[in-house]
Structures are given as C-alpha cells and as structure tokens.
Structure 1
Amino acid sequence: MGMITVVGIGPGGTQDYLFGKAQAALKEANVIIGSERQLEILTEEERLKGVRLPCKLDDLAELLKKNQEAQIVILASGDPLTYGIGNWLIKRFSAENLRILPGISSLQYLFNRLKIPMEDCFITSSHGKKPDFSLIFKLPKVGLVTDKKMGPYQLAQEAVKRGHEATFYIGEKLSYSDEKIRCYKASEVPDEDYLMNAVVIINEG
C-alpha cells in the first residue's frame, strides 16, 4: 500500500499557511483528496490530481482502497488532529502507511489574532454534539469549533441560562480577505448565521 499523507492546510483559502513539507507532499502526490473549498488552494498543476472528498466516510474508505498503491494526500482544514479527519484515519491505518503534517488550527489562529495566550485553554467542540456546559462555563478559558446547530448564539444562550456573563470572541472566515472577529458579552451575542467560525469563551472568575 502507498503512503497516505494528511496535510493540514491551516485556515483560509490560499497556501499562505502551508508549511514546506506540506507543499512538497502536494507536488509528489498522485491523488489529492479534499473538499471543493480545500481543492481551491491547489496550484493549476496540482488540481489535475484533485479528487472531491466524498460526503460519507464509508465512501472515502472505498476511494482510498481503490487508490491503495498511489501516493495519496488528504487535505484537512486547520490541523488534522484538532477535530479533523486525522482521528478517523489513525484508527484505520497503520503508522507505516499514514503520515500527518500538522497545520495551524482555526483556534490557534484566533487566539493569536486576539493576542490571548492559549496554554491554559480547554479545547472542545460543539460540532455535531452537545458540549458539557457545566464544564465549559466553569473553566477560565475555552476554545470551541462550532456548527450551525450549536453555534455562538446557542452557546451564549446556555451561558445566560446559567447566569454566566462570559465574554465571547467570535472569529468568522479566519484569514480570508473578509475575516470578521467580534467580541460580545454572552447576553449580547446576536442571533444570526455565523460563517466558518471558531469561538473563544473567557469566563469571569
């Protein structure tokens, strides 16, 4: 079986946050798998090797099986092992056949844009699941990857229910030209659709 390399492309829609080894892996690959948005960062030559990421992971497993002799790159937004596809892959492939090249996660990017240290941060997700609210509103600093069902507004409402006037930093489309970073108290977070967002919550002591 050929090598599967997972490339963390970092935030954004360009190769600005791709490290040298990641760029080399893209050039050497026979097949590059990614979402439509991820494939847009490839050069014209690399796009000739691009394959659209299937919607279902079972279909991805079949695609990898069909191309098992190829040098495959799978693109991962942000960092592959921060709520990314890397976790699914390491459960299914041996270390000899899998290489993971980390990228900058959206949370790393957001903390650095805010100039807030993240070494004491609890990282979690509300993407496709209900987070432990009793925990996240008790800890001093929390970073979350969210989705449309449990996004910034819904999280803020849970804080309000519990009487926590936490500070919410909401980053949308991070590193894109139309990046937006806003700060609200929990009771002030607007009820709206948030695009490609990450959230940092600072709980008052």
Structure 2
Amino acid sequence: MLGKEALQNPVHREARIHVIGMEPEGLSTEDLRFSGLFSRCSLLVGGDRQLKTLTGPLPPDIERLTIRGKMEPIIDRLRPFQEQSSSEVAVILASGDPLYYGIGSTLIRAIGKESLAFYPAPTLVQRAFSLLGLPWEQSTVISFHRPDSPEEIPHTGLGNLLAFYTDGSDGPRKVLLAIEKDPFLKKRLNEFTVLENIGLDGQTIRLFTPEKLDLLRETPFAPLNVVVVTLNPSD
C-alpha cells in the first residue's frame, strides 16, 4: 500500500523514483506518509547523514547507495526505474526541500520529472529564520555549498536580509570573505549569525557584529550550519 500522500497524487502513483526530503532529526520508515514506499523500496539512495538518520524496518534485500560527490553512478543505477513496470520503487533521501537548492534539479535534468515524485520537508534556511524570529519573504537565499557556487554575492534583487547554505565547517568564513571582498556589502554589514546543528543536540546560534569578526574567523563551526546576514539599508 502506498503512503497516504502518494495515494492522493496521481503523479506520485505513476512515479517509480521517490525523492523524500528529511529534517535533521531524521525520518522513520514507519512514518504513515511514506511507509508504503519504504515497504516496496528495492533501492535506497542518500547522503551519509540521511542514511544514518533513517530508522525503522526496510526490506531485507534492499540495495543501498551512498551519494559521495559525483552523481553519474547514482543516475545510471536509477535509470532502470524509468521503465520498470513492477511495484518496486527507488527512494532517494534528501535534505529539506529537494527542489530548493537540492538534488532535485540534477535528477530532473538527468532523468526527467515524469519518473520522479518529490516530498519536501522544511528547509534549514526556513528553520533558521524561525529560530531567529525573522520574517523572510523579502530575504535573498544564496548557496555556497555546491561546486558551482559563486565566489561573489550578486547585487541584483539584493535586500537587507541574506541567508547562505554553506559547504561545511569553513562555510561561515567563506561567506564572510565574500562580503569583505565587496565594498558595497562590507560597509552595510550589520549582523552575521551562524546557526549550527539546527534540530540536533548541540544546536547553537552565534551572533557576530562587525566589531567581533576576528572572533568569527577563529571560531570552529559544526559542519551543519546556515548563515544569516542582516545589512544596513543602502544610502
């Protein structure tokens, strides 16, 4: 039996590759939304953190693939599910919303959206703004966690509230470097906040003002972090 969400959506019923967004706290295969999918899953794909935080029973002969860098081997293994007529499915575990700075765009380009179904979870940026009590409809979200991430922060459409996905422990320093290289942004910097381990043990929020940036450069950050920057209004 399919999970409740898949039953309600005809696109999900036809798909054989299901991309499930996870929150940092993890996910149970007994979650009623997805239990039917996991019971029919013959291929489970995900990053190391997602696979480790998935709990609950799985089919005994399930194949597991860990995403480590290049996606080509993963894509090749998923292709048979495009044509497969059996009830077996592939499940890909992602972080947050797979279609928002996530794996979704890569999968759509390589496989086509007709074979895919997506199930989003709240993103880390969304949760970061909630923790800070900041409305974020006017924010600009920038990814510094992909190989093709920009080294500069674009000014087009830039407001006074920025959020950054980072690529690990050194991510906050990379964001700071990008700001300091840009005179327009450097002079407007108001607050630089690093949120670590959102939803996990050791969740920490560190706020740095321009006077405390030397401390930021010396601070060791957890690999799972998000940066939120507020800027003073431009002249």
Cα distance, 1:153 vs structure 2: 2.0
Between 167-176 and 155-164, the greater mean CA deviation after superposition: 155-164
Measured at CA, do residues 43 and 165 of structure 1 come closer, stay the same or move farther in structure 2, by a change above 3 Å? closer
Residue 174 of structure 1 aligns to a residue in which SS?
A: coil
Tell me which amino acid in the other structure corresponds to 1:63: R
Structure 1 or 2, whichever has the larger Rg, is: 2
- Determine whether 1:93 maps to 2:111: yes
Once superposed, what is the RMSD of the aligned Cα atoms? 2.8
Which of 24, 29, 42 is the matching residue for 1:30? 42
Distance 2:21 2:90 in 1: 14
How do 1:22-171 and structure 2 match up within 5 A?
22-46=34-58, 48=60, 49=62, 51-55=64-68, 56-65=70-79, 69=84, 70-127=88-145, 128=147, 129-133=149-153, 135=155, 139-148=159-168, 151-161=171-181, 162=183, 163-171=187-195
Deviates more, 1:136-145 or 1:52-61: 136-145
Give TM-score scaled by structure 2 length: 0.74
| Shift in alpha-carbon separation, 1:94–1:52, aligned structure 2, 3 A | closer
Q: CA offsets per residue over residues 55-103 of structure 1, 9 Å max, x none?
A: 2211111221355534011000121012111110111223331101111
What whole-Å deviation, never above 9, does each CA across 1:142-176 have from its counterpart, x for those lacking one?
11101249621232244345233331121111101
Equivalents in 2 of 1:187, 1:157: separation in Å? 15
Distance 1:149 1:180 in 2: 13
Are the structure 2 counterparts of residues 101 and 137 from structure 1 closer, same or farther at C-alpha, using a change threshold of 3 Å?
closer
- Asked whether the equivalents of residues 144 and 200 of structure 1 are also in contact (C-alpha less than 8 Å), the reply is yes
Percent of residue pairs bearing the same amino acid type: 24
Structure with the larger RCO, 1 or 2 (CA within 8 Å, 6+ apart): 1
- Mapped contact 2:37–2:89 kept (Cα < 8 A): no
TM-score, length-normalised on structure 1? 0.84
Unaligned runs of 5+ in 2: 1-13
Runs of 4+ deviating beyond 4 Å = none
- Tell me the equivalent position of 1:201: 229
